[in-house]
Amino acid sequence: MDLAADCVVLSAILFGLGVVGFVFKRNIITIFMSIELMLNAVNLAFVAFSRQWHDLSGQVFVFFVIVVAAAEAAVGMAIIVLIARNRHSLNVERVNLLKL
Amino acid sequence: MSAETVLFIVFAGIAVMAAVNLIWQRHPIHSALSLIVVMVSLAALYLLLGAELLAAVQIIVYAGAIMVLFVFVIMLLNAGEEERTEVSHAAKFLGVPLAVALTGLLAWRMWAFAPAAAASAVTDQNQTKMLSRLLFTDFTFPFEMTSILILIAILGAVVLAKREQ
C-alpha cells in the first residue's frame, strides 16, 4: 500500500464529490463551498505528487492555489452578498436574468 | 499495517464522510462545518505526506480565514434551509453515474502517474527551508504577482459589496 497513490485516489473521490455538490446543490453558498472542496482535492493531489517525485514545486503550487482561493472567496462572497441583496434569495434558480 | 496506513485510513474516511455530509445537509451552516472537517483532515494528511508548512497554512488560511468568511456571510445573509426544487430526469438518472465515471477516470489516470517504485519516502528534514528558498528564488515573479492579485481582490470586494448611494 503506497501512501501517495492512495492520496491521489482520495483526491479524485473528493473532486468527484465536489462536482456532485456543484451540480446538485441549489444554495449559492453551498455551491461555492463545493468549489472550495474541489480546490482542496487538487491541492491534495499536488502534495502527493510532490512527495512521489521528490520535487517541491508541487508544494509551491499549492501555496498559489491557496492564495487564489482566498482572493476568489473574497470576491465571490461580495458577489453573493450582492445577489442576495438584489434577488432576496440565495437560490440559484432565482438568478435567471440571462436565461432565455 | 503500519501506523501511517492506519492514520491515512482514519483521516481519509473522515474527509470522505464529511464531504458526503457537505452535500447531504440542507442548511448551509452544516455544510460549512463539514467543509471545515474536510480541511482539517486534509491538513493531517499533508502532515502524513511530510508537508508540515502546508499543513499549518491549510489550517490557518483555509480552515481559519476562508471558512470564517463563509460562516460570516451565512450569518450576515441569515441563510436558511435550501429550497428543494425539481431536478430534471436526465440529471437525476445520468448525473450520479456520470460523476462516478468521472471520479473513476480521474483516479485511474492519476494513479498511473504516481510511480509506486519511487516510494522511498525520503522526507527532507529541512523541507520548510527548501520550500521557502524555492518560493523566493525560482518563483519570485509569481509570488509578487499574488500580492497584486490580493490587492485587486480587496478592491473588487469593496467595490462590489458597497451600498449604492
Q: What is the pLDDT of residue A25?
A: 87
User: Residue B103: its chain A contacts at CB < 8 A?
Assistant: 12-13, 15-16
Mean pLDDT for the stretch of residues A64-88: 91
| SS3 call for B120 | coil
Task: Spell out the domains of chain A, with CATH numbers in brackets.
Answer: 3-94 (1.10.287.3510)
Q: Does A42 touch chain B (CB under 8 A)?
A: no
Q: If DSSP states are collapsed to H, E and C, what string results for chain A? A: CCHHHHHHHHHHHHHHHHHHHHHHCCEHHHHHHHHHHHHHHHHHHHHHHHHHHCCCHHHHHHHHHHHHHHHHHHHHHHHHHHHHHHHCCCEHHHCCCCCC
pLDDT band of A16, cuts 50, 70, 90: very high
Secondary structure letter of residue B63 according to DSSP: I
pLDDT per residue as tens digits for the range B59-118: 999 988 999 999 999 999 887 777 777 777 777 788 888 888 999 998 888 888 766 555
Closest-CA residue of chain B to A22 = B23
Q: How far apart are CA A67 and CA A97, in angstroms?
A: 32
Interface test with B, best of A55, A82, A90, A91 (most B CBs within 10 A): A90
Mean pLDDT for the stretch of residues A62-84: 92
User: Residue A77: its chain B contacts at CB < 8 A?
Assistant: 69-70, 73, 157, 161
Q: Does A73 touch chain B (CB under 8 A)?
A: yes
pLDDT band of B11, cuts 50, 70, 90: very high
- The cell for B99 is 460523476
Q: ipTM, 2 decimals?
A: 0.92
Q: What is the pLDDT of residue B124?
A: 57
Find residues 54-73 of chain B whose CB sits inside 8 Å of chain A: 54, 57-58, 61-62, 65-66, 69-70, 73
Contact A81 B77 (CB under 8 A): yes
For residue A12, give the nearest of B32, B87, B106 by CB distance: B106
Say yes or no to pLDDT of B40 above 60. yes
* Stated pTM of the model: 0.90
